Amino acid sequence: MTHDLPYSQACENNKAPILEKLQAIFNAPGTVLEIGTLTGQHAVHFARAMPHLQWQPSDHPESAHLCCARLEQAALPNILPVVELDVSDAQWPVDTFRWAFSANTTHIMAWHEVEQMFHGIGERLPEDGAFCLYGPFNNQGEYSSDSNQRFDQHLRSQAAHMGIRDLVDLQALAESVGMALAENHPMPANNQLLVFRTSP
């Protein structure tokens, strides 16, 4: 580990269990759009383990620079240059991808941004693609653990627009843009990996 690079302990902890699931989903050549690359730890780990993919990192214009040093240091041929992506923009800088991946973003985004992320992916996701969303989620208003409840309270005390999202709301949102929840994988530390696919 290089200590002078932006670093997330959560990314370091969860990258191996997430990769185990992604390898079964991202199982053919194609481009993956990562929304919210942040430190770049996921991008490097996943692209190195899955060389058949083209990994497209992206982040909000205010944060996109944070991953650059790590991606440059890794120098992997299948990681594309990071793009600035504000999900609220009508025009996205990436129009074509087979899969999308985002980790720990929906509880940071405002709900209207979550809606716009799903809308943007739903418009572009091909029939054989998938959108993999990782993070803590509630189920019908119920927390999956006491630690998630404390985390949610911490988020809301920082900013009113943040908070853990509910599976029911995310499923309804997905269905409104032509996707459906196809898989729900329990993950360590009371997280989940949701896999949305285009509805038939």
pLDDT at site 32: 98
pLDDT of residue 4: 83
Per-residue tokens: 87: 């999900």
CATH topology of domain 9-198: Rossmann fold (3.40.50)
pLDDT band at 1; cut points 50, 70, 90: very low
Domain ranges within the chain, ordered by starting residue: 9-198
Percentage of residues in the chain having pLDDT higher than 90? 96
Q: What is the pLDDT of residue 98?
A: 98
The total of other beta-carbon atoms located within 10 Å of residue 172's CB is 10
Res 29: pLDDT: 97
Q: Which residues contact 97 (CB under 8 A, 6 or more apart)?
A: 30, 31, 32, 33, 56, 124, 125, 129
- pLDDT tens digits for 130-167? 999 999 999 999 999 999 999 999 999 999 999 999 99
pLDDT at 143: 95
* Residue 200 pLDDT class (50, 70, 90 cuts): confident
pLDDT of residue 21: 98
2: pLDDT strictly greater than 90:
no
Burial class (CB in 10 A: 0-12, 13-18, 19+), 100: buried
Cα 130 to Cα 30, 124, 142: the distances in Å are 11, 11, 26
pLDDT tens-digit map of 84-124: 999 999 999 999 999 999 999 999 999 999 999 999 999 99
pLDDT score of 80 more than 90: yes
pTM beyond 0.75: yes
CB atoms within 10 A of CB 130: 22
pLDDT of residue 3: 59
